[in-house]
Every structure is written in structure tokens, then in C-alpha cells.
Structure 1
């Protein structure tokens, strides 16, 4: 799913209703668009420092208010909402949203590009002239339409010349213009990034098509699209269809089942005999003594080539294409990673072969196994420096994903691969008498990860089954959860671990929790904040202090669900200074550096005195600062100095209490990944994805990958102004995901971990 952006001047939040909501004697059907003010949303989620379970939203088309569970409200950007509202049928609108590919392409569409338009049950080439609303209206969100000029056979089959109700939106030939919603447009100039399937093509069209041409057609009134892979002079015989994201049908034909329309024979028995198909892992002789490894992204025939060809995405930059051949695109991959070779030169990747038959193992749905996972008993220390690289780097490394497990895979890898801060969870007596879940976590997941560098999907599934039974939640083995839900369950209810955080608001009792959710007010000056700033703002907003230094501090970013983000980029703070966030702890005056005796919450936003948000002063500086006419109404409060601490100014250096960042859990397109710091140097970062690749199709298995990403250190050390102007798409490697997709930051205090 594409990432939802944020509009700078938009102070409304938009949602699409995913399920039916009863309202009195009727119901609000799914597909309706809803909205609420940003201010109301922030008030809802900050109430009692707990996220709201439901939101009060307005149904835009019915002008009614409903209370809806947050899980049935999917956030939209303003641009997405405006495109969807142009589709009159809520049912069709929801289908278009779930399809996502065309919607994401419509958001990126630009005037002047060539498109195909569905009109009169046919597709016609067209030129996009206009994108926008039609007339001035009092509608809260004016729908966005596409103004197109039909070309070729479509010329003269439109209903306008670019004018609508006396207003000219664009100019085109008479009766060649149309104003249509985005679901009637095929954005052929903006390629979708999907996998491949092979349906048959209706050859009734009289249009001349050639091998390699892009094609679109109707099957049972349903629009299909793809590339021609075989043709005669008048009609395409086969097309390779690029299905919509996450919508590959179960009855799609694999490459081994391509048939000729004339005689029904297989195109090439080689496909089946060699067990090679789209998504097969292969190796190719690159040089005399060198192999190149990759994954088949496309199978078929190329123009003027008799042999069956394979389009392969290589692991390294040893190729010569990005998936295009003779100006036609057959698959998508990074530049210099693609290559077209004869299928017969491809061999199964021997790194993933096992057994005497030399065939890759498959992850059977019934058992969830690919490799027999051997449990590792005892204590295995976390990996650091060279040992981390030797054990963890590469394919089939880390924790293998299966069946929506990425939230758990990424969380476990982040917490345990290279840090021991929560090893108490592995050995402290469990709150459950039999301790099976703790044993599984220790001996089937953490210890094998640290010793062998790989944890198979069956080990994680074993843990998920146990969590399902203990929590009585049947979806634990099938559905994606939030990482904080998983961490709270296993740490609190099952392992009975002491709370990681103890928080207190003035005059209130101590609150205990395992993760901290940041809630802040919108501040225009914070365009690219760092974690330190966000944490200080959140504590100030909620009037909170830490009653003790935590050994592990897990911080959730200010966002709604998996999509809505308050900030497009957040800079990770490698060191988190919590000195001024501690309750009854000695602190320095922000002006002179002596022992502080008073704190002023009203000075928080004053950047003249200090860049720090939290402001505390010694007695002298507090008096001087508040003689200024802008601060006369401020109300400083006295600070308590711990007993035994020298109160004479300047006699004792205040110790700064800092935590170090050891992992970041990120989410993009509903998929969790993680960054882990594996050494002291700035460039010691590795990136983990439990489903980075896949072998086979339905009965195949996911390939986890751990890769080094030293490039993130370059951006972490960049000036804020450079980061502000940095285009995320131009960031090298996986750095974009660290800065733009952060969901949860994990900090540790090695000093305090010794006592836990």
C-alpha cells in the first residue's frame, strides 16, 4: 500500500470507511468518506495519555456525525480523498481504494502525459489536459476529475471540447473531450511495480499489435492490462499481465502453463521440467569462475528471439538493464540489476538447495517449515561488530517471515539481535507456571538468531500459536498486529516483566508502561524534528516526568495507525538526553550552568534563552529572566534537590543521563522492517527485512535478508538544512526508510541494564 502523504495547508483529516456502521435504523455503508479536524483528532488521542479507540467523524456526503472505531477508518491524504469522492458509488469507490495501484498513479499524474481512457466499453488513447475540480462549490472537498482529449479511433467520440457549463477547463477538438474520474483512466506512463501473471487475451480486436507492445483489454467487462509476448500480424495471442498490488488471483496461470490458442500445446515444457518459474531463485555463469545470483521476474519470448527467455533481477549491479529491452518494459528492477538470458542457462540457486534431490525446500502451509530449526539452549550473547556481520549479513539471515508475521519478526530482531538490554525477559521466571512461551522465545528464536544467524518461520509460528492460546485471540497466527500490542502482551501478561517506564504527572500517581506514545501539538517551525525534540514536547504537552532512568525506552512516533504521519521526515537522535525529564533529579541552569532550583513550563517555546525545550534556572537567573515584560506572567515552580546533593552553586558537576539508540522499527506499505546498530562506530548499521524476497509462488517461502547500510551515517551527520531539502527518493540505499518511515525508536541505558 502506498504511503499516505500530508498536505501542508490541510487542517482536516480524511478517512474512508472500511466497514458498515449502524446509525439508528439505517447504516453508513463502507466506501463513504469521512473527515474530522486535526485539532479534534489530537484532542481525542491525547485524552488521558491514551490513544482513542473511536473517533467522532463527519460523513461528508450525508452530513451526519458518527462514532467509528479507529480500525474501520483508513486515513487518506487530501489528494486521495478528492480523487475518490469523484466516484459516485461507495462500493466502487472502496474497490478502487483497495486496488490502490491506479489511485497511487492518479496522485502522481501530470498534465501532458499520454493515457488510455475507458469509454463506451472500449479503451482509447488520450492526452491528459486537466486535473482538478469542475466548478466553484460549497462542497467541503471538491471532487477531482481528469480532462482528456480522445485521440486515434476515439477522436470525435467524446462529449465536449473542454468546456463544461460555460466554463473552459481546457481546449481540444470538438466532441473529443471527456471529464472522467480517475478509475476510467489507465495511466500507462506511470508504471506499477507488481509481479507477473499470465491470463489469455481476447483476440477480437482488429488493432495491429506487436510483441513487446503495452496492451489493455476487457474480460467480462473488467479492464486488464499488460505486455504482448507473442503476436501475429493482426492480433495479440498472449499478454503478460501486471496485476494490481496484492490482488493476484488464485487461478492465475504460471509460466509453466502457457498455452497456444491454436493447438493447446505447452509453449515450453522446459518451464515445468526444470522447476523454474517467475520468482524462482537462480544462478547464472557470469564469468569463467564467477556466478551471478538473482530471481526470475519474467518468463516469455522476446521479439526476433526463438528461445524461451528469462528476465532476471540480479543481487548485484552486474546487469545491463532495469527490466526494459528495446524500449519495452517487461519487469521492474533497479538500474544495472536486470538481465535477459535464455532460460536454459539458468540453474536453481545452489545456496538454497537441500537434500539428495537437489530441489529447493518449500514452506508447507500445514507445517510452516522450510528448514528444521534446531533449538539452542543456554545463554548466547548478542552480536556486535565483526561477529554481527559474519553471522547475520546475507540472504536467509535474520528471522523468516510468514503469514503477516513481519511486525513480530522486526520487533524481535530489533530487540535481541545486537542488544542484551531485555535479556531479562529470557531468563527471569515467567508469570506462567510452565514457562513454555519464554522457552520458545529463548531457545527457538533468540539463541538461534545469535548463534546461527537464522530463525525459520516455523519457530515464529510456534510462538504465535502459544500467544494465540494464552491471549485467546484467534487472529494471532494469521493477522498482522501492532508491535506494541505484541510487546505489551508478551512482556506484561505472559512474562510478567517489570514495566520499562515509570511516569508521573504533577500531583498524580505514578503510571507504568512498556512503550511510550508521543503526543504533541502541531508546531509549524518543526518541519524536520529529531526524536529529542519530539520527546521533550510530548512530556511538556502531557506534563510528565520520568521517576527513574529506564534501562530500555521504546518510543512510538506521532502517527495515526500505519499511514498518517505528522512529519514527513524525523531525524533519529543517536543519544537521548533525559536529564531534564527526570523527576526530582539535579539539573543545570540553562543560562549559567549552576544547580537549577526552579523550572518554568511557560518558557518551553522560548528559543532565545536556549535551544532546549525544557527550561530550568538557578534562583538568580530565574529572577533576571522573568523581569522581561514578555515573561512577567510566567509561573516558575520550585525544583526539589535530592537529599545529600551539594546545593552550593558551581561545586558539583551535574551528570547528564543519556540513552543510546540501538534499533529503529519502520513501516512502509503495511510492512515492518528494522534498522539495528551493531557497533560503536557511526556507520555500524544493518537493515533487516523478514520478507525481502520469495522463492516460488503459493507453496514457496519468504527469504529474509540482512544487509549492511553504512550510508545512513552520512545523512545522520548532515546539517538539518540539508535534511530539510533532501528529496527522500534521492537518498542512497535504504536511508529513506529510516528517516521517513520510522514507527518505533528503541533506546537503552547500559548502566541501568546491569541492575535489571
Structure 2
């Protein structure tokens, strides 16, 4: 029976744990699905016996075929199952092993070559529904030791899938698929897990093997001298200074070389002259897509910093040393990521800013501000910082790497958090508005982005605006446009000038209370009627307005919730009505020498990011180009490898054009949409919006700075 085929949705493994969910690495069988999309099924214990029933969200699981589930059940502890799944190519090769394939197993500090003989069912089937575990019966390629085992009539050892660290490429013309044997088939007792094996020292090989002694000996020696293995994620610094990431597909000594080399299958296709499809020289060592294979000396490979283990608050692995001189310097100004490059550079796992220890508020904010938007592209006032100042660290360790390679490791973020000067920023979860104020004022030395003026001629400055409204002032599904207008009019505030960047905080208080269950995120804000000194249209006749009236805002006969401003004639007629005679309209401040028939030019701002929060966790949506469907979703802690004490977070970026498709509908159409039928990301945007970020595409942010220093090239 072969371990091939598409995954069967009848089995799953839990890849992330919710607040009250199943443990990571748990394997289960799907028996039913709820209308919400959750999975209900039986959970397997370590012996393969059904332990209990459980319920888990589908997004927290990964589908498995039955044989994949059986192989992983034999792996212990459960966290190691997820480690094996992360090595996609290695696990795929293990699932497709054939009889007499050569593999390498790791025991203590030694690597031993073996021949694959059988797939063994582990345990004794005694209950209906039990899933017997699978292990590999391997024959050690040490003839002396094997002869000794045969004389003692000792059965071949059985290994779990996680103990196989390398699958040697097969050159056999005909590969015999493995059949699954039970203990009774081979006249042996039920197999038990192999926890210890003798240390084999000899490197001699089975006679008749298609591999010579020197080939495997070199491969074993190379493995013994390096922590990297086939299936490991690695990174290499290229000659032009770019960090290249890939999966090690082969390790050994190639023809014509003396020392150990590694063959990598790269994450992205490269057009360098030495890239191939797995060929090196005249010999093929593995097979992959064209221009994605790269062969380099093993000592130039470093463990992928994105997949480091044993992180703690005060101990995060340092980036590996590089052997090449990077083309980019600390002072270089890397431009925002352009629309054509976003999907190839950013979308995927281990992309964006890696979260670590309550950092999601900061990760989501920095990603929103600096990935692709030009709103904050002229923000580094280097005259106020020396070369080791905090704004320099922000640019060097976070902004430039994010734009250049699409990834920022958690260590860089932690270093920046420590530089903020308050211990709580390095340990505690903060609100984005608190961080934004410190970022813009103390790090980037910006003047307040927002300047407000009231009719009483009082001026107010702020970096963000908190919307404050009464619930009865808007409908059940308000838009950001409606909320902003009502908030400013009710507070008797107007913008003194067009903001270069407008950060609007939704009406929710604390991390749980939301005044509105859903809010429509306006992709464009029209702030014409919210400017202090600007020409406006009469609400009734469309001519140039001279007055506005806050008391008319909620008049049920005059489109409640809409800003009311009138020309002199309409103002008189409206306020003759008995119900409005007590109103006190305000005379508008208009630009000097403005003709009565002058056309009103609308002033708009464009949405470029949305920060969302759900159960104390922040994520963000970012618009990365002029196309209306150019949206991506970012979560710095979307997944995790390892347990809570020994593991790391996996940031994920997803393209989400469906968000734009939904928001492109009119407010009337949106009001009738069945939200339960929307995608999870659309529901998340509507239900969890915390901050909406808008930019004035006609005015650079530098106008708010005391000194302008462009970071664009």
C-alpha cells in the first residue's frame, strides 16, 4: 500500500490552539461539521485509541490522509508532529518511500544509513475505530551489526517518521511500493516504540547497494558536522547582498568537490546563471521547478532565522552571520513595496513582521504604516537622532528589511521595543493609539497630524481621532464616513487644514465593548464639509453655503445624520419652521474673495489600512496599490511552531481581493447583505475594525515635519 494521494478530509491535525480548544499536534477523525464550519470528531490518544470527542475550528486544523495520520500518531511528543509537517519536502518524501530506498536516521549525535524494508502497524487493534500507528522497519547498512542481529534472531528496528532526517534520492528503475504489515504477518510481537538503539560506527554498506560506500559516508560525515538536515529551512546570502530562503533537498559531496555542499529548493524563482532544476554539473541530485535549485557550500548555509526555536522574552536567537558583503547599508532608503511586487514578496507564511510576546499591537501598526503606503514615507527626521538613535533603528531593523525582503524577525522588533524607553513596551500589550502617539512624537519627531478648530476659535491638536457618538444618532450598520461626520459636528470641531494622514479610532471602549457590531469601512472619506475654512454646498439648493447648523443634524425631516449647511436664503426658510426656531446656525468662515457661483471642489482622503482587534489580538488589512482589489491581510501570530515555552510565531500574509468586492457595493446594498455568507476576512474587517488609516494623496506627510528627510530613493 502506497502513501500517496490527496489528503482525506476525514482526518486532521490541530495546528493552532484556541482559548479552550484542543492541544496543538492532536490528531482526530472528522465525524461531522457544524453550520459555522467547525469540525466535530473523535480524538486519538498516543496509542491510537479513541480518547474522546471534541470540537475544533476548521481554520485551526490541517487535513491529513489516513496514512499521514497513522504515521504522525507514532511521533511523540505531539509538538514534534508539527515540526515534521513544517518540513514539507522531507515529510512528502517519507510518505512516498519505497522498498529498499535509502534513508538516514539520527541517533544521539550519529547519523546512520538504512534500507527501508516494511511499513509496520504499531499496537494491537482491539476496538472499533482504533487507528493503528505506522512505523518504518529499517535495515541498518552495517553488515557486521546486521549479522550480529541475525545470529541473535533480533527483529529489525522500527523507527517513527520523525526519526528519518534524510531521504537519499533513488536511482532505481523500478521502485516497489511498501505494503503495510502487522506484527502477525511477520511472526513477531506487536511492535513497540524504539526509544534507544545501539550506536553503529561502521560505515560499510550492504552488498549490491546502488550507492558506493564513499557516497554515503561523505553524506553522513557532512550531516554530523552540521545542524542542518535535509528538509531544514535555510538561508544563504547571495553575491548581491540579498538573503535567499529555501529548503535543503540534498546534502553531500558533489562530483568534483571535496567538502560538503547543500542543494536548496528556493522559495522564489531566481534567474542567476548557477540556478537549475536540481542538476549540478552533469549529475542530477534532486528535481524541482526550473531556476529554483541552488547549490552552495554547506558552510554558507545558516538556519533560517525565521524558524529559530527556544525563544523567550530576554533570549531571542540572533540573526546568523553572513559571509558576503551586503549591498544595502543602514542609511539606505528603501522605497515602499510597489503593487507588482507585493504578492511575490509578501504573501505567504513567514512574511511580514514576526510577532513575539504581546507585540501584535506594534506589529500590526508598523506593518500598516510602512509596508506600501506613501503616507508615512517622509518620516525619519535624522537631524534629531544620531546614527544609533531610535528612528535610525526603526529604519535599519524594521522598515528597510520589511520593504527589501518582506520579513522582519522578532528579535528586531524586540530590540526596537526596548529602545522605546519604557519597560512596559517590551513586555506588555499596549493600545495602538498609545504606541502611535509615541512613535510619531518621540521617535519620528512629527508635529500632531490633526489640527482642529471650533466655532469658539479654540485650536486642538492630536495624532489620532477617537470617534464619539450616541448610538441613536446612526443606524445599526454605520459607515466610517457617517461616524466621523457626526462625531465632529456633535463636538463642534472642524479640521483646520487637510490632514496628511488621518487615523480614526472606532467607537469601542476597551478590548471587548463595541458600540456597533459591524461598521462599514469607507474606502474614501469626503472631508469637504469638515474643513474649517472651505467652500461648501447648500444642503438644499446646492449653491454656495454660508451657514451650518449642528442642531439640524438629527432632524428626522431632513435626512437625519447628514451635515446641514445652507445658503442665506435656505437658512432663513428652514429655520422659520416652529420646530427649528430655537436653533442657532453658525456663520461659516469662507476663503477671501470667493465668488458666489464658485464651484465647490471636494476634498477626499483614501483608506490605506485598517487595524482590527479580537480577543486582545491585533491584525491589519492593507491596501497596497491603486487597483480597488489590491488588499492584503496580515497577522503577526497567525500560527505557531512548537509549544508556548519552546517555539516561535509564524506571521502570515494573505491576499484578500474579496474585501474590495464587498466594500465596492453601495451602502444601500451593504445594508441588505447577509453577513453570515461573507468570507471570514470580510466578517473580520466589518466586525473587528479598531482603527482606519486614511491618507491625503495630494499632500505629503512631510508638511507636518520640522525637517523633511525623504526615505525614498
Q: Normalising by structure 1, what TM-score?
A: 0.56
The 5 A counterparts of 1:135-146 are: none
2:397 equivalent to 1:570: no
* Offset of residue 607 of structure 1: 5.8
For structure 1, list consecutive stretches of 5 or more residues without a partner in the other structure. Answer: 1-98, 102-191, 199-209, 215-224, 245-265, 292-299, 312-345
Q: CA RMSD in A?
A: 4.0
Judged with a 3 Å threshold, the aligned counterparts in structure 2 of structure 1 residues 728 and 493 are, in CA distance, closer, same or farther, namely same
Aligned to 2:570: 621
Judged with a 3 Å threshold, the aligned counterparts in structure 2 of structure 1 residues 753 and 231 are, in CA distance, closer, same or farther, namely closer
Select which of 305, 316, 326 maps to 1:368: 316
Select which of 624, 627, 647 maps to 1:681: 627
2:108 equivalent to 1:281: no
The 5 A counterparts of 1:564-713 are: 564-606=513-555, 608-609=557-558, 613-646=562-595, 648=596, 650=597, 652-697=598-643, 698-713=645-660
Aligned to 1:307: 134
Q: Distance in 2 between matches of 1:284 and 1:499?
A: 51
The 5 A counterparts of 1:330-349 are: none
* Offset of residue 719 of structure 1: 4.0
Q: Distance in 2 between matches of 1:642 and 1:466?
A: 46
Aligned to 2:45: 229
Q: Distance in 2 between matches of 1:278 and 1:241?
A: 23
* Offset of residue 565 of structure 1: 0.4
Q: Distance in 2 between matches of 1:737 and 1:591?
A: 38
Q: Is the 1:503–1:545 Cα contact (8 Å) retained in structure 2?
A: yes
* Offset of residue 456 of structure 1: 0.8
The 5 A counterparts of 1:72-221 are: 193-196=21-24
Q: Distance in 2 between matches of 1:748 and 1:267?
A: 52
Select which of 400, 424, 437 maps to 2:378: 424
Select which of 682, 689, 699 maps to 1:735: 682
Report Cα offsets for 1:157-177 as digits up to 9, x if no partner.
Answer: xxxxxxxxxxxxxxxxxxxxx
* Offset of residue 306 of structure 1: 3.7
Q: Distance in 1 between matches of 2:591 and 2:437?
A: 33
Q: Distance in 1 between matches of 2:528 and 2:29?
A: 67
Report SS of the residue matched to 1:425.
coil
Report Cα offsets for 1:616-652 as digits up to 9, x if no partner.
Answer: 1111121222233332332212112222322x3x2x1
Q: Distance in 1 between matches of 2:401 and 2:609?
A: 20
* Offset of residue 372 of structure 1: 4.5
Q: Is the 1:211–1:230 Cα contact (8 Å) retained in structure 2?
A: no
Q: Is the 1:518–1:535 Cα contact (8 Å) retained in structure 2?
A: yes
Q: Distance in 1 between matches of 2:499 and 2:687?
A: 27
Q: Distance in 2 between matches of 1:635 and 1:304?
A: 78
Report SS of the residue matched to 1:752.
coil
Report SS of the residue matched to 2:88.
strand
Judged with a 3 Å threshold, the aligned counterparts in structure 2 of structure 1 residues 393 and 583 are, in CA distance, closer, same or farther, namely same
Q: Is the 2:24–2:78 Cα contact (8 Å) retained in structure 1?
A: no
2:397 equivalent to 1:444: yes
Whose Rg is larger?
Answer: 2
Aligned to 1:537: 486
Q: Distance in 2 between matches of 1:616 and 1:447?
A: 47
Q: Distance in 1 between matches of 2:588 and 2:534?
A: 9
Q: Distance in 2 between matches of 1:410 and 1:211?
A: 35
Select which of 647, 661, 667 maps to 1:720: 667
> How many pairs were matched up?
472
Q: Distance in 1 between matches of 2:423 and 2:56?
A: 31
Report Cα offsets for 1:61-119 as digits up to 9, x if no partner.
Answer: xxxxxxxxxxxxxxxxxxxxxxxxxxxxxxxxxxxxxx996xxxxxxxxxxxxxxxxxx
Q: Is the 2:507–2:514 Cα contact (8 Å) retained in structure 1?
A: yes
* Offset of residue 553 of structure 1: 0.4
2:361 equivalent to 1:379: no
Judged with a 3 Å threshold, the aligned counterparts in structure 2 of structure 1 residues 752 and 428 are, in CA distance, closer, same or farther, namely farther
Judged with a 3 Å threshold, the aligned counterparts in structure 2 of structure 1 residues 474 and 681 are, in CA distance, closer, same or farther, namely same
Judged with a 3 Å threshold, the aligned counterparts in structure 2 of structure 1 residues 211 and 737 are, in CA distance, closer, same or farther, namely closer
Q: Normalising by structure 2, what TM-score?
A: 0.59
Q: Distance in 2 between matches of 1:416 and 1:513?
A: 20
Q: Distance in 1 between matches of 2:29 and 2:663?
A: 47
* Offset of residue 460 of structure 1: 0.6
Q: Is the 1:660–1:747 Cα contact (8 Å) retained in structure 2?
A: yes
Q: Distance in 2 between matches of 1:358 and 1:458?
A: 15
Aligned to 2:503: 554
Q: Distance in 2 between matches of 1:273 and 1:719?
A: 49
Q: Distance in 2 between matches of 1:310 and 1:606?
A: 71
Q: Is the 2:346–2:406 Cα contact (8 Å) retained in structure 1?
A: yes
* Offset of residue 736 of structure 1: 1.0
Report SS of the residue matched to 1:426.
coil
Q: Is the 2:337–2:372 Cα contact (8 Å) retained in structure 1?
A: yes
Q: Distance in 2 between matches of 1:368 and 1:653?
A: 60
* Offset of residue 687 of structure 1: 0.5
More moved, 635-644 vs 705-714 = 635-644
More moved, 508-517 vs 728-737 = 728-737
Judged with a 3 Å threshold, the aligned counterparts in structure 2 of structure 1 residues 372 and 563 are, in CA distance, closer, same or farther, namely farther
Report SS of the residue matched to 2:471.
coil
Q: Is the 2:25–2:79 Cα contact (8 Å) retained in structure 1?
A: no
Q: Distance in 2 between matches of 1:404 and 1:687?
A: 19
Aligned to 1:463: 416
Q: Is the 1:283–1:349 Cα contact (8 Å) retained in structure 2?
A: no
Report Cα offsets for 1:261-302 as digits up to 9, x if no partner.
Answer: xxxxx995x5479954478524269999x99xxxxxxxx997
Q: Is the 1:437–1:466 Cα contact (8 Å) retained in structure 2?
A: yes
Q: Distance in 1 between matches of 2:523 and 2:379?
A: 25
* Offset of residue 196 of structure 1: 3.6
Q: Is the 1:555–1:746 Cα contact (8 Å) retained in structure 2?
A: yes
* Offset of residue 667 of structure 1: 0.6
* Offset of residue 732 of structure 1: 1.5
For structure 2, list consecutive stretches of 5 or more residues without a partner in the other structure. Answer: 1-16, 33-40, 58-71, 97-121, 124-128, 136-159, 163-229, 235-244, 249-297, 704-713
Q: Distance in 1 between matches of 2:383 and 2:529?
A: 34
